[in-house]
Amino acid sequence: MMQNPTALVLDTLETLIAPGERSRLSPYVETAQFEVLFGEAPAAGDRVREGRRILKRHAERVKDIARHWYMFCRLGKQFAGSDYEDEEFLNAYLTYYFSVNVAKVQLMLLELARQSKLPGTLRVVDIGVGTGVTAIALLDFLVLWELACDLWSEPFPVTEVQFVGLDCSQRVLAYARRVVQAFASALRARLEAAKPDAPVADAVARVHAWAERLAAPDAWRQHDLADGPAELPFAPNLIVAGNVLTELKRDDRAIRTFNQMLHDLPEGALVIVIEPGDEKKSQTLMAWRRALLADRSGLMSLGPCGQEFGRALPATCDGCWNARRENFHRSALYKAFQEAVRQREAEETWPYGRGSAPGKRFDDFENELLSWSYLLLQRVAVAPSNGSVAQGVDEFAETTADQRHLLRRVGRYGREPDWRLVVCPAPHDAVQLEVHGRSGFYPPPLRHGEQFIIERPEIARDGRGHVTLSPRPGGETRIAALTPRQPNRAFLPRYDGRVRRAVDEIAHRLFGFAAMRPFQHRILERVLTGQNILAIAATGSGKSECYILPAMLLPGVTLVVSPLKSLMADQYDQRIQERYGLDGLTTYINGDVPFGDREARLKRVELGFFKLVYFTPEQLQRRWIRDILRRADAAVGIRYLALDEAHCISQWGHDFRPAYLNLVRRLREHGIEPRVIALTATASPPVRADVCLELGLENRPI
């Protein structure tokens, strides 16, 4: 059954924002950072390598920024007003906090889009602009959203954007405006590079016009909330406030003004509040929300929790550590900064413990660099109230024969096998509630704030009201999402001019290309609409991009079969890593990879961390590997099987490899049925017929 078109658009948007479960900055955002920090930006055609060269040329500049940041951290990260008057502090902020905060805002916008809450005309007020985080996150999000709509032939719902950034520091406002100007310049450069036969997607032109408007002086206004409400040129329908409570905590007048601004919003208006993810600040945020919603009836919670209580939130909320932790694909600039801070740490004793140091080492897959607490609110005519918050309390009676409990995820800690889900304790007569894991017992994919069901857990309660649910021996305990999600296996319904322009823009983002070549579009038309293909094109003409782009664009995993380990290594090192910077989303499995590493990589495939996985054909002959791939297919979906050097399948070919035979059949025996992309530089008629027969393709020209 065809999925809801809006869901398909948003799944694709999520893939573009956070491929492989890790948020990733777009090249336009990175270009703006480079332009502001170094006065130069990488050329689009060789973006990754040129970016590394720029960082090398400006290595001392990066070290200076890191030294400044290090001293700020040594002083306890107080975020005093005087810090924001320091240009070097703002440079460090743009390098470090800006990178991850853009990702957080985009994930919040995605959550509102999934709830169909974002209006067609966005009138946005950003309170506390930092280095332009909200403006950049919003603009880049809108480009990606419209591209996703283009791909699925759906209307783009946003028609107008108005924006005002408020901050008490004129220096901060001027700096944020510079960043937006640099972002607008990056979009303008893309438009100017367009060719008559390959026009740029409408999304780029539309958002460029909005970016130019946001870069104007009147979009940035100096105002201190302690002086009362600001005069605004419009009635906002979206307020974004980042770290406002943290930075206004000592000023009751400013907090009262902020509260009043929210109460005065028009009906339907939205609020995103983002705070740090540590326990104390998270609890401060949750207590503030409870008081705010109880004060008047005009605001209700959209997320991540609290919807079941209306405006009368229970006192338990005040002590809740509701923190979201997700992974971030570290950009070259971010890595260089962290390395510079690490070198500085080596020279001195770090006073706050290694865990708090910005230069500490991180796992590139499960780094949890995105750590934050947040609220989504909406102004409504009359906020619902469930009356007594005690309704529906589940006390986890251990004598119940068939225990089945509805829970809401509000956090997760740890890694396999000793993970912990943090659960909203309010409906369950608890102060703190967690679900603990063990080897072989895994939670289903759950978004932050999503509800799920656990059946027959072991229950432990201490004297402080802390409840722990654990799996029973023997596999009695089950855990399932309230609304289970199936892998998105849909393909584009058509491939017209609008889709073609969107694909060219994706190619520009991934590869730096101005546009894909005509023969590449012929291949992509088949592949993206869910049809199999054998494509024959000269070496060096760009065949590999015809499976790399679909792999990165649509949800799921792509398997690539490559006949030679040397060819695989060359593809990975020279193209994937050095040229395109996609190594964090790609891996390879061959006989040279130690068994333990192979297991770890395949587990990450199963978790959805990789978008592209290279195999030698011999590895896919191994049943235990196909068993893992079957689980990966059930969890995240194996979308494509790409066969590089496909002539090796044919017994008529000079490079025939017996291990290539029956690959498709073996996968199908495990219930895995990806679309086939077979590619080669040469194939005589007998070889072509043999390949088509083996792969079940129709042997006729397109």
How confident is the model over 547-561, as pLDDT tens digits?
999 999 999 999 999
Please write the tens of the pLDDT for every residue from 226-237.
Answer: 999 999 999 999
pLDDT, tens digit, for every residue of 72-110? 887 777 666 667 788 999 999 999 999 999 999 999 999
129-161 pLDDT, tens digit per residue, is 999 999 999 999 999 999 999 999 999 999 999
Residue 247: pLDDT band by 50, 70, 90 thresholds? confident
DSSP 295-325: H-SSEEEEESS-GGGBT---GGGGG----EE
184 in any annotated domain: yes
User: d(Cα 94, Cα 307) in Å, to the nearest integer?
Assistant: 35
DSSP 139-176: HHHHHHHHHHHHHTT------EEEEEEEES-HHHHHHH
Query: How would residue 419 be classed by pLDDT, with cut points 50, 70 and 90?
Result: confident
Among 102, 128, 118, 78, CA closest to 29? 102
Nearest CA among 472, 467, 433 for reference residue 452: 433
- At 655 the pLDDT is 67
Q: How many domains does the chain have?
A: 3
Cα(387)–Cα(473) distance, integer angstroms? 40
199-208, 305-314, 488-497, 500-509: which has the minimum mean pLDDT? 305-314
Q: Which range scores top for mean pLDDT: 43-47, 174-178, 650-654? A: 174-178
Q: Indicate whether 224 and 307 sit together in one domain.
A: yes
- Do residue 217 and residue 91 come from a single domain? yes
The domain boundary, picked from 430, 465, 481, lies at 481
pLDDT surpassing 60 at residue 219: yes
Beta-ladder partners of 332: none
Output b/e per residue, 223-244; b: 16+ Cβ within 10 A: bbbeeeebeeeeebbbbbbbbb
Lowest pLDDT segment from 189-193, 294-298, 644-648: 294-298
Whether 196 is covered by a domain: the verdict is yes
373 membership: H or E segment, kind and range: strand 370-379
Residue 686 has pLDDT above 50, yes or no: yes
Q: Is the pLDDT of residue 386 over 60?
A: no
Asked whether residue 683 is assigned to any structural domain, the reply reads yes
* Mean pLDDT, residues 32-39: 98
pLDDT at site 353: 45
Q: Based on the fold, state whether residues 538 and 419 are members of the same structural domain.
A: no
User: Exposure of 624 by Cβ count < 10 A (0-12 exposed, 13-18 middle, 19+ buried)?
Assistant: exposed
Total count of residues recorded for the chain: 702
Query: Residue 203 in contact with residue 150, Cβ under 8 Å?
Result: yes
Which position has the higher pLDDT, 202 or 699? 202
Helices (H) and strands (E) in the chain, counts: 22, 22
Please indicate whether residue 211 or residue 644 has the higher confidence score (pLDDT). 211
Look at residue 1 and tell me whether its pLDDT is greater than 70: no
What is the radius of gyration, based on Cα positions, of the chain?
Answer: 26
Task: Verify that 536 and 586 share a domain, yes or no.
Answer: yes
Of 575, 578, 583, 586, the closest CA to residue 612 belongs to: 586
- Let me know whether 315 and 443 are in one domain: no
Q: Within this chain, do residues 449 and 527 fall inside the same structural domain, yes or no?
A: no
Mean of per-residue pLDDT scores for the chain: 89
Specify the pLDDT at position 396. Answer: 59
Helix H or strand E segment including 455: strand 451-455
Do 462 and 604 fall within a single domain? no
Asked whether residue 393 is domain-assigned, the answer is no
Of the pLDDT bands very low, low, confident and very high (cuts 50, 70, 90), residue 523 is very high
Has residue 61 got a pLDDT over 90? Answer: yes
Structure confidence at residue 699 as a pLDDT band (50, 70, 90): confident
Residues 667, 621: contact at Cβ < 8 Å?
no
Lowest mean pLDDT among 178-187, 295-304, 345-354, 381-390: 381-390
pLDDT at 37 over 90: yes
187 domain residue, yes or no: yes
- Asked if residue 270 and residue 121 are part of one domain, the reply reads yes
Are 477 and 521 contained in the same domain?
no
Please report which confidence band the pLDDT of residue 439 belongs to, taking 50, 70 and 90 as the band edges. confident
Position 672 scores a pLDDT of 95
CATH number of 593's domain: 3.40.50.300
Confidence of residue 653 (pLDDT cuts 50, 70, 90): low
Is 506 a domain residue?
no
Which has more pLDDT, 401 or 543? 543
Position 79 scores a pLDDT of 67
Q: Are residues 101 and 185 in the same domain?
A: yes
Residue after which a domain boundary falls, among 299, 333, 367:
333
Where in the sequence is the domain holding 623, given as residue range(s)? 516-695
Strand order in the sheet with 675-680: 533-536, 675-680, 638-643, 557-561, 612-615, 586-589
657-671 pLDDT tens trace: 787 888 899 999 999
Domain contains 11 = no
Q: What is the CATH number of the domain that holds 431?
A: 2.40.50
Q: Strand pairing of 299-303 and 370-379?
A: antiparallel
Q: Who's near 126: CB < 8 A, 6+ residues apart?
A: 134, 135, 163, 164, 165, 166, 240, 241
Q: How many CB atoms lie within 10 A of CB 493?
A: 16
Domain-embedded: residue 280? yes
Apex 600 CA angle, 596 and 601, nearest 5: 115
Helices (H), 359-516: 497-511
Distance CA 273, CA 283 (A): 14
* Residue type at position 229: P
Give yes or no for a contact between 482 and 406, defined as CB atoms under 8 angstroms apart.
Answer: yes
If we measure between CA atoms, which residue out of 79, 113, 438 comes closest to residue 281? 79
Q: Which of 333, 363, 388 is the C-terminal boundary of a domain?
A: 333
Instruction: Verify that 237 and 92 share a domain, yes or no.
Output: yes
Name residue, tokens 């658009």.
9
> With contact defined as beta carbons under 8 Å apart, do 358 and 338 qualify?
yes
Tally Cβ neighbours within 10 Å of residue 669.
12
Q: Is the torsion defined by CA of 142, 145, 149, 155 positive or negative?
A: negative
Same domain flag for 114 and 197: yes
CATH number of the domain that 208 lies in?
A: 3.40.50.150
Whether residue 215 has pLDDT greater than 70: yes
